[in-house]
A and B are shown apart, each in its own frame.
Chain A
Amino acid sequence: MKYLPRLGAVTLLLVLTLPAQTLLAQTLDQAEALWKARRFKEANEVFLALVAKEPKNPDYKVRLGRMAMEHTEPDYAQELFAQALEIKKDHAGALVGLALLASENFEARAGDLAKKALEIDPKLLEAQELLARIALEDNDNPKATEQAKKALAIDPNSVQGKAVLATIDLLADKKDTSWDPHTARGYETIGHFFVMNRRYEEGIQYLRKAIELDPQLYSARSKLGINLMRLGQNEEAYQQLELCFKNEFQDAATRNSLKLMDTYKNFVTFSTPTTILKLDKKEAELLRPYFQSEMDRAMATYEKKYKLKLEKPVQVEVYPNHEDFAVRTLGLPGLGALGVTFGYSVAMDSPSGRKPGTFHWASTLWHEMSHVYTLTATGHRVPRWFTEGLAVHEETAISPDWGDRLNPDVIGAIKNKKLLPIAELDRGFVHPTAPAQVIVSYFQAGRICDYIDEKWSWDTLLAMLHDFGAGEDTVSVVRKELKIEPAEFDQRFFAFIEADTKNAVDHFDEWKKGLKSLVEKSTAKDWDAVIKEGTAIRDMYPDYVEEHSVYEALAAAYLAKGDKPAAIAELSRYEKIGGRDPESLKLLSKTLEEAGRTAEAADALNRLNFIYPMDAAAHRSLGGLWLIQGNVKGAIREFAAVLARNPQDPAQAHFDLARAYRADKQDEQAKEELLAALETAPGFRPAQKLLLELSTTADRK
């Protein structure tokens, strides 16, 4: 695929090589005309000639910056706006350019920059329009309305002002709106907000309207392509994105999405009447049974809980390359999330895409699948905090150790009273003031749902869900279903969460200091000190199960001193609280097995299947344990998983599977596996013996 030559890359060269007459002949009007005609390269040359002629004129730089934005070169644009501000620090146009760039990344500073621009030039329409958009992104309709009307006061034809007001009406399911912008860019904005509210189908309709009015509005066409891809309509998605690409609209999202779709040939699809599972070929055989089983289990659970039967199959796509997943969801690499849901379509990281122990794939799958139900139940009208809150709630509802633990960011937020009021919680997801605020908001939303479930009931949560589906906002839903004012709810919830986390919050600094010392003692193998200090600090912050956890340090110390029961006790605590390190879980399983506690040993390894199912040795151990315990179906799955990992020892892997089939009285399959084992290693005696045994049994029949 060929890439567009970047304008920014040729800047200096052109300035140095343009002849003097050319420089003199250029005018701003010419540059603008060439830009309008999408003759970017020539327009760039003219702009650069103007800049060379008047290097202290910030206006040329700002206009060139705006063209660079349209030409999908945000870094170049940013540099030009910064240069303009160096020349004139209160250049409103440069400030609004920076604000627009920041708003594309949902940066909180976008609003501040727009406000600053307005202070300099109160009639600067774009800045006012941007403030209206930002308010609407925060789902703050009254503020968005106020800001949009201010924009219309500056210019009664303000496209973005009308688009924001029209969006408010349309998102509220009003059939008509008096603010219909009747312009391509207006519809693009409406489409953007429908997508932001996860109403992808409707968003796509507005993006289509935008490009009908202006086929050259490639920003809208690219959004259309990306959202079609999100919904799995890949053929048209590819066509739209390719059209953008060929017409010099080559932003990162367009390029990355096209590249990603080129890799789809590496995926295989498994369909059932209710599910579609897409897995990378290289790990499909291994992961399929585990994913299919959890998809089916989640759907059966949610169908009852949400009293909702889905009308079409749910699609789950699993990406071994995290950056592919990020592109699939945002069009851009670098996404911190683990999974994303688009209506009936879920995209998520594969367990192989993350460092072992850092990712609980089953918890992520259940989280995302719950979004499918909450989005469907509300026609995608659920606020972000509530759908995320329910999804987080579901993680621990299915198994207490699955969900994320209380982490230091959350402890810091509770301690410093940084939790948001329920009515403003969406802001923590959409416009976080710090990166940690998103994580804190997930935690808070999840605990709010836990709290409502505990103090009111599950039916109350369901009633809230349906109210949101009917278009009501958080304030009215809280009043209606919880029978209290939002402020009263906040007061009660904050008291609840502070009481619940008091131990960890109060002792956090002391624990942190103690952990540092503990790590030093562990490194020095001073086991007596590890036991003394570890025991003293462990329960100050029991939720900490990450790297250098107290449980693991204590277990290592006890093992070094030969006290296996105490080591097992520590590792069991670690496991039950939600410890995920594969080596520690395998160590727990091994010590339990050595202690004759084979059922618990198997449980520990089965828990690992939900975290990191890529470890062939763990599958083999679990298969062996289950075979002894008579769980032959489980043993078959585990030994088949070993084979799917292209094992180091294929003869042994086929033989193990043969043993499991034999135990399950599936003699034909057992024989097939034995033949495979012996084909690789004809002298493999245990396999020979089993083959003779099977042959004798068959002869008797």
Chain B
Amino acid sequence: MKTLAMLLLAALSAPAATGAVTYYLTIAGLGGEPDYAQRFKMWAEDIDGSLKKAGGDSSVTTLNAPQLEQIRTRFADLAKQAKPADSLVVILIGHGTYDGHDYKFNIPGADLTATELAALLDRVPAQRQLVVNMTSSSGGSIEQLRRPNRIVIAATKTGSEKNATNFARYFAEALREPAADTDKNESISALEAFRYAQTKTTEFFDTQKRLATEHSVIEDTGKGTGERTVTTENGQGKLAASFTVVRLGANAAAARDPNKRPLLDKKEQLEQAIEKLKFEKAAMPAQEYKRQLTQLLLELARTQEALDKP
């Protein structure tokens, strides 16, 4: 976890690429039954609303039960519009199937296979990509979808988890829920959203006293099969931690004011010092750690106070 914290800090400190756009494409698949159709549409609309509210330089598209041709058309547009510095987020909600070889996302008419989806994604120049496949059997799509610089989140660990999933409900919630922002940087990263939805899904099965029929996983190294948790050992989560899905506040405003640059520099130095101190925690006396942490946090708070002044 320590490694992850450092990486997160690095991501926050890195200068934002000016003019970079995030393209969002949310697709609600075929419900089959009215109850599911309504549910999938509702979750897709929930996500659409959060993405649009989040502001920033973005393009949000949501398709409800589209046919394969409509999806291909949208990806063709994305392939034309997106630049390498841009980001792409594709979110799938609905039913999926897995026959042991390929995964299929259920839509009206011919289904979208994971192989075709991977090809469509590959044609979009945006280098940083996030695919959130929240359907049943979505774990069966990881092998086709994984690639360096692409985060793949799946609602199920394998293609054999065939029951309709609940993960999408909580992923949608994560995008508008401040509690998902665990580091309080006023934005929800892919990793924070994944963890929030995973925890809530687990709680759902626990409280209902039901056997869990879905086990969400994340893969962002381009070579794994998907992990339930992010650890130093499995090396997962680095990209996801630095991939902002939605911004909840105006945290980028200060960066645009040149008068505040020295304060921002000081803030970044303090944040780095705090992270360094946290690394050293285990090797130092508790009282000394607390003294130094208090000092640094107070200084950081004063710096932030100065930054917040108009």
The answer to whether the Cβ of A421 comes within 8 Å of any Cβ in the partner chain is: no
Which residues of chain A come closer than 8 Å to B178, judged between CB atoms? 649, 652
Judging by beta carbons under 8 Å apart, are B297 and A678 in contact?
yes
A window 631-659: CB within 8 A of B: 647-652
Q: Which of A671, A678, A687, A692 contacts B302 (CB 8 A)?
A: A692
The answer to whether the Cβ of A691 comes within 8 Å of any Cβ in the partner chain is: yes
Chain B proximity mask over A688-701: 1 for CB below 8 Å, otherwise 0: 11011001000000
Judging by beta carbons under 8 Å apart, are B271 and A682 in contact?
yes
The answer to whether the Cβ of B180 comes within 8 Å of any Cβ in the partner chain is: yes
The answer to whether the Cβ of A301 comes within 8 Å of any Cβ in the partner chain is: no
Q: Which of A650, A682, A685, A691 contacts B274 (CB 8 A)?
A: A682
The answer to whether the Cβ of A314 comes within 8 Å of any Cβ in the partner chain is: no
Judging by beta carbons under 8 Å apart, are B298 and A649 in contact?
no
Which residues of chain B come closer than 8 Å to A652, judged between CB atoms? 178-179, 184
- B208, B274, B301, B305: which has the most chain A beta carbons within 10 Å? B301
A684 to B207, CA, bound (A): 31
Judging by beta carbons under 8 Å apart, are A692 and B180 in contact?
no
The answer to whether the Cβ of A273 comes within 8 Å of any Cβ in the partner chain is: no
The answer to whether the Cβ of B61 comes within 8 Å of any Cβ in the partner chain is: no
Tell me the smallest distance from the CB of A482 to a CB of chain B, in Å.
44
Which residues of chain A come closer than 8 Å to B70, judged between CB atoms? none
The answer to whether the Cβ of A303 comes within 8 Å of any Cβ in the partner chain is: no
| Closest chain A residue to B251, Cβ basis | A683
Which residues of chain B come closer than 8 Å to A688, judged between CB atoms? 297, 300-301, 304-305
A window 654-694: CB within 8 A of B: 671, 675, 678-685, 687-689, 691-692
The answer to whether the Cβ of B294 comes within 8 Å of any Cβ in the partner chain is: yes
- B179, B274, B300, B305: which has the most chain A beta carbons within 10 Å? B179
Judging by beta carbons under 8 Å apart, are A651 and B183 in contact?
yes
Which residues of chain A come closer than 8 Å to B274, judged between CB atoms? 682
The answer to whether the Cβ of B290 comes within 8 Å of any Cβ in the partner chain is: yes
Which residues of chain B come closer than 8 Å to A355, judged between CB atoms? 207-209
| Closest chain A residue to B305, Cβ basis | A692
The answer to whether the Cβ of A614 comes within 8 Å of any Cβ in the partner chain is: yes
Which residues of chain A come closer than 8 Å to B180, judged between CB atoms? 648-649
The answer to whether the Cβ of B199 comes within 8 Å of any Cβ in the partner chain is: yes
Chain B proximity mask over A417-455: 1 for CB below 8 Å, otherwise 0: 000000000000000000000000000000000000000
A633 to B180, CA, bound (A): 28
- A680, A683, A688, A689: which has the most chain B beta carbons within 10 Å? A683
Judging by beta carbons under 8 Å apart, are A680 and B182 in contact?
yes
Which residues of chain B come closer than 8 Å to A678, judged between CB atoms? 297, 300-301
The answer to whether the Cβ of B278 comes within 8 Å of any Cβ in the partner chain is: yes
Q: Which of A649, A675, A684 contacts B179 (CB 8 A)?
A: A649
Given A355-B207, A355-B209, A614-B207, does the pair A675, B183 have CB atoms closer than 8 Å? no
The answer to whether the Cβ of A333 comes within 8 Å of any Cβ in the partner chain is: no
Given A614-B207, A648-B179, A649-B179, does the pair A681, B185 have CB atoms closer than 8 Å? yes
Tell me the smallest distance from the CB of A652 to a CB of chain B, in Å.
6
What is the number of residues of chain A that contact chain B, defined by CB distance less than 8 Å? Answer: 26
Judging by beta carbons under 8 Å apart, are A683 and B297 in contact?
no
Given A679-B278, A679-B293, does the pair A684, B184 have CB atoms closer than 8 Å? yes
Chain A proximity mask over B287-308: 1 for CB below 8 Å, otherwise 0: 0001001100110111011001
A560 to B279, CA, bound (A): 53
Judging by beta carbons under 8 Å apart, are A681 and B183 in contact?
yes
Judging by beta carbons under 8 Å apart, are B304 and A648 in contact?
no
A682 to B270, CA, bound (A): 10
| Closest chain B residue to A614, Cβ basis | B207
A498 to B298, CA, bound (A): 71
Which residues of chain B come closer than 8 Å to A647, judged between CB atoms? 179
B window 237-291: CB within 8 A of A: 270-271, 274, 278, 290
Tell me what chain A mostly uses at the interface: helix, strand, loop, or mixed. Answer: helix
Chain A proximity mask over B158-183: 1 for CB below 8 Å, otherwise 0: 00000000000000000000111111
Judging by beta carbons under 8 Å apart, are B182 and A691 in contact?
no
Chain B proximity mask over A332-365: 1 for CB below 8 Å, otherwise 0: 0000000000000000000000111000000000
Which residues of chain A come closer than 8 Å to B179, judged between CB atoms? 647-649, 652
Given A355-B209, A682-B274, does the pair A651, B184 have CB atoms closer than 8 Å? yes
Range, interface on chain B: 20 to 34
The answer to whether the Cβ of B40 comes within 8 Å of any Cβ in the partner chain is: no
A649 to B271, CA, bound (A): 20
Given A648-B179, A683-B271, A688-B305, does the pair A675, B297 have CB atoms closer than 8 Å? yes
Chain A proximity mask over B178-221: 1 for CB below 8 Å, otherwise 0: 11111111000000000110011000000111000000000000
Chain B proximity mask over A28-66: 1 for CB below 8 Å, otherwise 0: 000000000000000000000000000000000000000
Judging by beta carbons under 8 Å apart, are A683 and B298 in contact?
no
Judging by beta carbons under 8 Å apart, are A682 and B297 in contact?
yes
A354 to B178, CA, bound (A): 30
Tell me the smallest distance from the CB of B109 to a CB of chain A, in Å.
31
| Closest chain A residue to B274, Cβ basis | A682
Which residues of chain A come closer than 8 Å to B278, judged between CB atoms? 679
Which residues of chain A come closer than 8 Å to B298, judged between CB atoms? 691-692, 695
Judging by beta carbons under 8 Å apart, are B297 and A648 in contact?
no
A678 to B185, CA, bound (A): 12
Tell me the smallest distance from the CB of B157 to a CB of chain A, in Å.
21
Chain B proximity mask over A64-90: 1 for CB below 8 Å, otherwise 0: 000000000000000000000000000
Tell me the smallest distance from the CB of A78 to a CB of chain B, in Å.
31
Which residues of chain A come closer than 8 Å to B184, judged between CB atoms? 651-652, 681, 683-685, 687
Tell me the smallest distance from the CB of B171 to a CB of chain A, in Å.
13
Which residues of chain B come closer than 8 Å to A679, judged between CB atoms? 278, 293, 297
A664 to B19, CA, bound (A): 49
Which residues of chain B come closer than 8 Å to A356, judged between CB atoms? 207
Q: Which of B182, B293, B300 contacts A648 (CB 8 A)?
A: B182
A356 to B290, CA, bound (A): 40
Which residues of chain A come closer than 8 Å to B302, judged between CB atoms? 692
Which residues of chain A come closer than 8 Å to B293, judged between CB atoms? 675, 679
A550 to B62, CA, bound (A): 39
A692 to B304, CA, bound (A): 11
A689 to B301, CA, bound (A): 7
Q: Which of B196, B208, B304, B305 contacts A683 (CB 8 A)?
A: B304
Which residues of chain A come closer than 8 Å to B200, judged between CB atoms? 648
Chain B proximity mask over A596-631: 1 for CB below 8 Å, otherwise 0: 000000000000000000100000000000000000
- B199, B274, B278, B304: which has the most chain A beta carbons within 10 Å? B304
Which residues of chain A come closer than 8 Å to B182, judged between CB atoms? 648-651, 680-681
Tell me the smallest distance from the CB of A357 to a CB of chain B, in Å.
10
Q: Which of A648, A680, A681, A687 contacts B199 (CB 8 A)?
A: A648
Which residues of chain A come closer than 8 Å to B270, judged between CB atoms? 682
A687 to B185, CA, bound (A): 13
A652 to B196, CA, bound (A): 14
Judging by beta carbons under 8 Å apart, are A675 and B301 in contact?
no
Tell me the smallest distance from the CB of A586 to a CB of chain B, in Å.
13
A691 to B295, CA, bound (A): 11
| Closest chain B residue to A616, Cβ basis | B203
A691 to B300, CA, bound (A): 11
Tell me the smallest distance from the CB of A612 to a CB of chain B, in Å.
8
Tell me the smallest distance from the CB of B241 to a CB of chain A, in Å.
14
A512 to B2, CA, bound (A): 60
- A651, A684, A695: which has the most chain B beta carbons within 10 Å? A684
Instruction: Give 5 pairs: A residue, B residue, CB < 8 Å, sorted on A.
Output: A648-B195, A648-B200, A651-B184, A688-B305, A689-B305
Q: Which residues of A contact B (CB under 8 A)?
A: 354-356, 614, 647-652, 671, 675, 678-685, 687-689, 691-692, 695
3 nearest interchain CB pairs?
A688-B301, A681-B184, A684-B184
Q: Which residues of B contact A (CB under 8 A)?
A: 178-185, 195-196, 199-200, 207-209, 270-271, 274, 278, 290, 293-294, 297-298, 300-302, 304-305, 308
20 extra interchain contacts, Cβ-Cβ under 8 A, other than A681-B182, A684-B184, A692-B305? A355-B208, A356-B207, A614-B207, A647-B179, A648-B180, A648-B195, A649-B179, A652-B178, A652-B184, A675-B290, A675-B294, A680-B182, A682-B271, A683-B185, A683-B304, A685-B308, A688-B297, A688-B300, A688-B304, A692-B298
